[in-house]
Structure 1
Amino acid sequence: MRKLTYFIACSIDGFIADESGDASFMYPFVVGEFAEYLKTEHPDTNPSHVRRLIGTDGVGLKEFDTIKVRELKAEDSEFGIHLCGGSKVAGELRDEIDELVIKTYPIVLGTGMPMFGSRFAVTEFTLDTTRTFDNGVVVRTYGKKS
């Protein structure tokens, strides 16, 4: 079975965008050391608007619905699946997610689109790594608790 990793950017209070889905207020943070990190360590996991900001427009981007993601995850393969979707997709696939990479921007929104748009259910993860950047962004990686 393949490993499913969900990459998501959010505010300190856990919102990925405003109510309409706009996250352009995060763009000013995609600079310097953090932009280089996105470009070199995760070039294929960035949404198209971030790819334009960091100059990786040419890297392939594939879109799948949740049914296809589940089919891919069920396959035996050494290659994992990197999901960079929105609140609804993450919510629908929450039970299948093995790893979270959460890019937290140093802003508070108060309201907006949550990281997981789904029903209430407790899913435990353990913190694997934390990385901080000179612009205040923190990237945390969590593994699903066994």
Structure 2
Amino acid sequence: MRELIYYAAVSLDGRIAAPDGAFDAFPVEGDHMDAINAEWADTVPGLLYEALGSTAPRGRFATVLMGWNTFAAGLPLTDDPYPHLEQIVFSRSRTSRDVGGSVRITADDPRGVVADLKGRPGADIWLCGGGVLAAQLRDDIDRLVLKVNPIVFGDGLPLFAGGYAPESFVLERSRAFGSGVVMNEYRRR
């Protein structure tokens, strides 16, 4: 069965973006990028592969899920961030007419969409963000892969923007990089 994997960059204080949604404070250079490019290559935006004159590899993920604000953060650059994946954006106020590319905008219940996706054959499902969507899908997340960055935001968008409801995960792998980034991989207990 396909897994829902919340793969995200996070600050030391649990923030995935600044209060205005920007995430440019996270380092994009360093030895951690080699691991991302090798092991999580299908999470790299299509624009980067286009600039390099290559195509994105497929394999780990078949689908990416985003809330509108996560998707909108990339709109100044592209309205089709991951053309190599099935892209589903959740919004109650936007429709697919608001974007181009192969992005599907839906107001459907995220848990129902994930249940349907998990029932289909194929590669895993990537929950890209944001924190509100992650909170709605918390019970459906099979794995967390957190790129913990050596930076404190002090304020901003949390990894999970929902009510208090403790969930247990088991650390399966942790790798520290010279850049200061630590990649932690957890599985639901």
TM range (shorter): 0.7 to 0.9
- Corresponding position of 1:71: 116
- 1:49-100 CA-partner distances (Å, limit 9, x unpaired): xx65xx3354314322424333102x15363222212111111111000100
Aligned to 2:42, the other structure's residue is in SS state coil
- Corresponding position of 1:108: 152
- Corresponding position of 2:31: 33
- Corresponding position of 1:44: 42
Show structure 2 runs of 5+ residues with no match: 57-83, 91-109
- Number of aligned pairs? 137
| CA RMSD, 1 decimal | 1.8
- Corresponding position of 1:20: 20
- Alpha-carbon shift at residue 2 of structure 1 (Å): 2.1
- Corresponding position of 2:86: 62
More helix by share: 1
105-114 or 82-91, larger mean C-alpha shift: 82-91
- Alpha-carbon shift at residue 112 of structure 1 (Å): 0.9
Contact 1:16 1:112 in 2 (8 A): yes
- Corresponding position of 2:180: 136
Aligned to 2:86, the other structure's residue is in SS state coil
Structure possessing the higher radius of gyration over alpha carbons: 2
- Alpha-carbon shift at residue 37 of structure 1 (Å): 1.3
- Alpha-carbon shift at residue 108 of structure 1 (Å): 0.7
Contact 1:45 1:83 in 2 (8 A): no
- Alpha-carbon shift at residue 139 of structure 1 (Å): 0.3
Q: Report the Cα distance in structure 2 between the residues aligned to 1:45 and 1:104, rounded to whole angstroms.
A: 16
State the TM-score, normalized to the length of structure 2: 0.66
Percent same amino acid at aligned positions?
36
Q: Report the Cα distance in structure 2 between the residues aligned to 1:70 and 1:85, rounded to whole angstroms.
A: 18
Aligned to 1:24, the other structure's residue is in SS state coil
Aligned to 1:56, the other structure's residue is in SS state helix
The runs of at least 4 consecutive aligned structure 1 residues that moved more than 4 Å come to none
Q: Report the Cα distance in structure 1 between the residues aligned to 2:180 and 2:146, rounded to whole angstroms.
A: 14
- Corresponding position of 1:97: 141
CA gap 1:108/1:32 in 2 versus in 1, 3 angstroms: closer
Show structure 1 runs of 5+ residues with no match: none
Letter in 1 for 2:49: T
Q: Report the Cα distance in structure 1 between the residues aligned to 2:14 and 2:7, rounded to whole angstroms.
A: 13
Aligned to 1:100, the other structure's residue is in SS state strand
The reply to whether residue 2 of structure 1 matches residue 2 of structure 2 is: yes
